[in-house]
A and B are shown apart, each in its own frame.
Chain A
């Protein structure tokens, strides 16, 4: 790809970018949120037709203006926004075989379902995944949806595979499976792979070459050998990042929140006990599927509690819905931003006020527009959300910046307890630092923070105390300063 440029209203997303991929190699594409990684890959996959520049394939100039063009050249892509690429009310098999169903039917009229399901199962087993192909995709967890998309991409023989932040929702085991598959494709099938990720250690694990982007331009293009994580970060952000985890010294107060024997209706969470003190950041560690998200949602009233009690500041809470949770002082930053966290069709400023609108309205309910916009501008600078202006539709922000909006809308809530469910998913290292700092500030104000994550480095980096979840319940309580990642992993996999 040579001299690629593309513009959106108010944004120059790519300017004169050169990029190349050879078959049989894994390329890393990294850069801060909004650097233009996804856009570049979308150009390559034929999702846009209004770019300038030229694309060569085997030395010949080709025209890629539609997804069809790209597919004909053997280019497959796994998009970053999982939910935009899946059909929620169809089954796993139908979603995996979508391209085949659409393109490879030729003159056939009737679909042979048994065959479709069989093919889908075979692909899933190549990925080492257990999943019933009859399940409706809407019911899957984010990680499973991601695997379905990956399965779709490899359903057809491809020559180039683009993976746009595929590992963001995955845990280590699933990531390992994915890498195993990628290595196999590269070695035995001569596929060229482009891998986008904000987890730099992964990049070093699987890639050979790296392209670093910043503000729509390529900063450097080299082999990974000889580079270090710090050097990459420096290229990405244009400056050194001294420390990922800001230090804070907070005097812990009394116990704010106490959770006793919390049990969810379908048993997704059962007999969970924990507490949070004022000014404390408490981690919930566990692998994907351990029930962290379910725990957070049950606490927040988004899932139904059938047993147990939640006591906040000595008062027993009656949480029946997220609405009642908010009125009683809880706030949750949910995991699936696209579906649960942001309103993609609305402007940034109204997203940022959507959880706290009462703060920006008069007693009669009229909105104080100026105050709302002022707040939006503040959050945008605080979190470094990259957007041309505060009235931009959230759908047009890059993935990581959407995540920042989902986090940002809760930061100004007057809650006592803040629950974060994987808030740094898909967020670049610089922004992670900012988010941690804001979480730290909440703790300094004497709030209680619950931080659920499957990234153990983050748990070790910012929490005071950690609970480990396994199989829907809390199995272990640990003082963070005394533990190591190995120990966390040990307890997370059911060790006793």
Chain B
């Protein structure tokens, strides 16, 4: 017995080590596998510069929204209202152009200001009224969507289209604004957002405080950290990021559509949660979330190219997601 056990542990140790590696890098591994798979299957259409750019472009909005969720996760919260926030921002910014003929910068500033108000509303309900985060932001999901739709008069807004009561509109969407949503710029915006949030969370004391609050509220409070202030800050930031996502979306599609942002919620949630474990971070982080978004985006792009019918695509997407998560969480005691 005494002889056989050491041998067993040695093996187990090697096993745990390789297991640790998989747990740490599981999602990154999945990215490579998926990438290799599509590249081999469709070398001449998938593995092209233009397609790579198009993947990055398509994930940029998801990434920015997912980063918003990530920030809310750092304080042990969860912002479910980001999708509706994006819709709301989309509607608002387009209406600024089409209805009110505002130039680009003021339109964006007005939208961001309104977004901060909405974020403050979330924060107030969570921090002061003390309704659990999930419930507040779930209600927010409905409210902001409804507000956006009501504001738009129940329909979409686009250039040249008269308002619902028949008033003609004369505003145009400035070409400069359209640039935001096009190839190099939208990707650059994403990279900047990821980098800034990464720096904020890891290298500033504010970011550290947020992790501390998320780690143990009572300990944070007794360390003299104003817990409620940082929780509120997190929701303000997530609302702002969702709004930036919505503005990018508006520029990309050039109009305000009903529920335009709703479709981004689930991929963004997935990206943020995959991000938790990337590189063994074990906590919400910007780079991880970006990797998560890449994983989700790659999958989507590749499946479309393989002409998987849209109605079956979700099955594949969901399954691969589960697989990636299984790789990361398996045996994480």
Contact = CB atoms under 8 A, between A and B. Distances in A.
Interface stretch (B129-137, B202-210, B301-309, B310-318): B202-210
Given A53-B2, A54-B1, A344-B216, A354 B204 contact: no
Contacts of B6: 52
Interface in A328-345: 331-332, 334, 339-345
A300 B209 CA distance: 20
Contacts of B204: 361, 364-367
B2 A357 contact: no
A323 B226 contact: yes
A357 to B, nearest CB: 4
A367 B203 contact: yes
Q: Residue among A300, A334, A369 with the most chain B CB within 10 A?
A: A334
Contacts of A355: 223-224
Contacts of B2: 3, 52-54
Contacts of A343: 212, 215-216, 219-220
A342 B219 contact: yes
A366 B209 CA distance: 12
A74 interface: no
Contacts of B206: 365
Contacts of B223: 322, 326, 354-355, 409
B208 A340 contact: no
B205 A340 contact: no
A110 B70 CA distance: 41
B224 A367 contact: no
Contacts of B212: 343, 346, 350, 354
A358 interface: yes
Interface string B218-239: 1111111110000000000000
A1 interface: no
Contact of A350 (B5, B208, B220): B208
Interface in B1-30: 1-2, 5-6, 9, 12
A302 interface: yes
A124 B103 CA distance: 74
B43 interface: no
B273 interface: no
B1 A61 contact: yes
A50 B9 contact: yes
* Interface band, chain A: 35 or more
A409 B5 CA distance: 42
A341 B226 contact: no
B222 A341 contact: yes
Contacts, number: 87
B222 A346 contact: no
B48 to A, nearest CB: 41
A96 B216 CA distance: 26
B205 A302 contact: no
Chain B binding surface, main DSSP class: helix
A321 interface: yes
Nearest to B209: A357
A123 B282 CA distance: 41
Contacts of B283: 345
A32 interface: no
A66 interface: no
A122 interface: no
Contacts of A344: 215-216
A143 to B, nearest CB: 18
A327 interface: yes
A365 B205 contact: yes
Chain A binding surface, main DSSP class: mixed
A325 interface: yes
Given A332-B222, A340-B222, A53 B12 contact: no
A331 B223 CA distance: 8
Nearest to B16: A50
B211 interface: yes
Contacts of A327: 224
Interface in A220-252: none
Interface in A32-57: 50, 52-54
A415 to B, nearest CB: 10
Contact of A52 (B5, B224, B225): B5
Contact of A361 (B205, B211, B222, B225): B205
A369 B212 CA distance: 16
Nearest to B206: A365
Contact of B205 (A300, A325, A358): A358
A299 to B, nearest CB: 12
Contact of B219 (A325, A341, A369): A341
A325 to B, nearest CB: 7
Nearest to B202: A367
A340 B218 contact: yes
A346 B211 contact: yes
Q: Residue among A325, A341, A365 with the most chain B CB within 10 A?
A: A365
Contacts of A346: 211-212, 215
Contacts of A340: 218-219, 222
B18 to A, nearest CB: 15
A302 B221 contact: yes
Nearest to A63: B1
B329 to A, nearest CB: 16
Nearest to B1: A54
Interface string A163-198: 000000000000000000000000000000000000
Contacts of B219: 339-343, 354
A327 B218 CA distance: 18
Contacts of A341: 219, 222
A409 B282 CA distance: 23
A53 B4 CA distance: 10
Contacts of B1: 54, 61
Contacts of B220: 343, 354
Contacts of A334: 222
Q: Residue among B9, B205, B211, B216 with the most chain A CB within 10 A?
A: B205
Given A357-B205, A365-B206, A323 B224 contact: yes
Given A339-B216, A345-B282, A346-B211, A367 B205 contact: yes
15 contacts: A50-B9, A50-B12, A53-B2, A322-B224, A323-B225, A326-B223, A326-B224, A334-B222, A340-B222, A345-B215, A345-B283, A357-B209, A365-B206, A367-B204, A369-B203
Interface of A: 3, 50, 52-54, 61, 300, 302, 321-323, 325-327, 331-332, 334, 339-346, 350, 354-355, 357-358, 360-361, 364-367, 369, 409
Given A52-B6, A354-B208, 11 more contacts: A321-B226, A322-B221, A327-B224, A331-B224, A332-B222, A339-B218, A341-B219, A358-B205, A360-B205, A361-B204, A366-B204
> What 7 A-B pairs are tightest by C-beta distance, nearest first?
A326-B224, A343-B215, A323-B226, A355-B223, A365-B204, A361-B205, A357-B205
